[in-house]
A and B are shown apart, each in its own frame.
Chain A
């Protein structure tokens, strides 16, 4: 420990070899850790890799052991069968429409509400903010049945609007933007703009929004994936074959007895590959958004 910090005394050969030994040991430990983490990472990805591989396999190869990662004679028969049997593309389209609209709604409401709660700290606003936060604890599953009847009375069941009704606001989004407003937008900036005669709306549009770009990007990614992977709500709201989201369509498709795993894998792979690519591209945004969830307390 102490050998390498003292540099004006010539280290003895013993001390030198001790340092070399320690460095070697450290490198060996790091190597072991890397091996362990690589194994864990591969194990985590393996189910998905096999799913994609299975999608390209013939029924005979599905049965072979050990399972192959690269199919011996890849076939797209599974894909064409699924696309012929189900409106898979329609379901994907529904999911995309739903996720995009939900993202827009959540980003818009969170941007406005987060800014107001962050910079206009009147008592009424603080009470409202507490209300928003308190309901964040309540899981969606608790109140989705009454919400279903609201959608029904609005006549928007089995449509993308019905899906959207459950995903218009996000308490966490408002919280995230409020934190960002407080930490990254100085009051002096807003005051200076007001003295220059800028209106409140102009300030929001031209000063606040550009400064929140990063946080809003992170929130948008979170909101998109939240809607894209929604299950229980679409399950009860979209109950006709043409209005299913991809999650619901796949879940119901897989309950049929005649469906084989090759076709299921093909359908699943069609959904997985684009969303994994999207995630890898947007990883930084996503991690930033999720990581900030841990910072509340």
Chain B
């Protein structure tokens, strides 16, 4: 009787949240999957079922493939820059955890992660600016010719990677610091007694023991890298000033297909590709963690 009453309370309490959740999350996810199999161009009334035709077309769409390649390069570029730096910085901050400055370090490195994307990107737009930017001024000071950073397709990818890494670093450092705090102190003391130096115990103890954290941070960084949009939108305007055209990324291509070309079904199939990438990354993370657990 009592149990039944509690069950009813639980159901009644969860119902509003569940309803919202179903409406703003479950339904649109299902709808994305459904729309990806249809040809729907907003203007026309009928929505014919086309099976996997959208996906077949994607494979030959050079704009999409361009976006896919750029986004992948950006995501992995950010990963390669961020993870080693974050690990080292976190180790050093953890080492100095008792100093008065530790709070300052953490805050300073974390601030780029919380500030609004667009104003922060604006700061970098100035740094990379061909005419006014300090980066070119610095380069010419050392005798290196100035580059038009934001108008060259390769250089602007690098600029986006730098901007995204600057933002991602703080999060990775914070998670690593938590990881360091959870490592057993006794192990390090034992290593010290055996004559291990600081760098040695970092390399042979910390890095292997922090592997689950590294996996987690890597996947989070990669997933947010694949969702890059605002950074490219602000930094990579093309010669006509059209935002984001210089470096096409997946989200931009998807939104253009949906809202400029009115091809919603096609855009949905792009979203499904994005989903598959994210799911694959997450699955890799979980399977690597499980392997570790067995070993």
Which residues from chain A sit less than 8 Å from chain B, CB to CB? 1, 29-30, 33-34, 36-38, 40-42, 44-45, 47-48, 50-51, 54, 62-63, 65-67, 109, 112-113, 115-117, 120, 122, 124-125, 128, 131-132, 135, 137-147, 149-150, 165-166, 168-169, 171, 174, 200-201, 204, 225, 228-229, 231-232, 235-236, 246-247, 250-252, 254-257, 261, 264-265, 267-269, 271-272, 275-276, 279-280, 283, 286-287, 290-291, 293-297
B21 touches A132 (CB 8 A): yes
Q: B230 and A295: CB pair below 8 A?
A: no
A282, B31: Cα distance in complex, Å: 38
B212 CB to closest chain A CB (Å) equals 6
**8 tightest A-B CB contacts, nearest first:** A268-B119, A41-B108, A146-B31, A294-B175, A51-B123, A120-B10, A143-B28, A231-B230
Q: Is the CB of B117 within 8 A of A229?
A: yes
Q: How many residues of B contact A (CB 8 A)?
A: 99
1/0 per residue, CB under 8 A from A, across B108-121: the answer is 11111011111110
- Report yes or no: A265 in contact with B10, Cβ–Cβ below 8 A: no
Which one, B46-54, B56-64, B75-83, B87-95, is touching chain A?
B87-95
| B166 in contact with A142 (CB, 8 Å) | no
Is B37 engaged at the interface, CB distance under 8 Å to the other chain? Answer: no
Q: Which residues of chain A are near B160, meaning CB under 8 Å?
A: none
Question: 13 A-B pairs, CB-CB below 8 angstroms?
Answer: A33-B96, A36-B92, A44-B109, A125-B14, A141-B227, A143-B29, A171-B25, A247-B230, A251-B118, A255-B242, A272-B116, A287-B106, A293-B175
A38-B101, A145-B254 known; A250 and B178 CB under 8 Å? no
- Cross-chain contact B25 with A247 (CB below 8 angstroms): no
Are B274 and A254 in touch, CB under 8 angstroms?
no
In contact, A135 and B26 (Cβ under 8 angstroms) = yes
A45 to B120, CA, bound (A): 11
* Contacting pair B289 A143 (CB below 8 A): no
Chain B contacts for A225, CB-based, 8 A: 114
**B91 to A, closest residue via Cβ:** A33
Q: How far is the CA of A191 from the CA of B160 in the complex (A)?
A: 55
Q: Of the candidates B109, B119, B193, B234, which one forms a contact with A51 in the assembled complex, judged by CB atoms under 8 Å apart?
A: B119
In angstroms, Cα B182 to Cα A291, docked, is 12
Measured CB to CB, the closest approach of chain A to B208, in angstroms, equals: 16
Residues of B within 8 A of A145 (CB): 28, 32, 35, 254-255, 258, 264, 267-268, 271
Write the B271-293 contact mask toward A (1 if CB under 8 angstroms, else 0): 11011001100100000010000
Q: Does B243 contact A (CB under 8 A)?
A: yes
Contacts of B213 in A (CB 8 A): 294
- Return the contact of A143 from the options B18, B230, B271 (Cβ within 8 A): B271
| Contact residues, B148-200 vs A (CB, 8 A) | 166, 169-171, 174-175, 177-179, 193, 195, 198
Known: A44-B111, A132-B21, A232-B229. A146 touches B35 (CB 8 A): yes
Nearest CB on A from B222, distance (A): 11
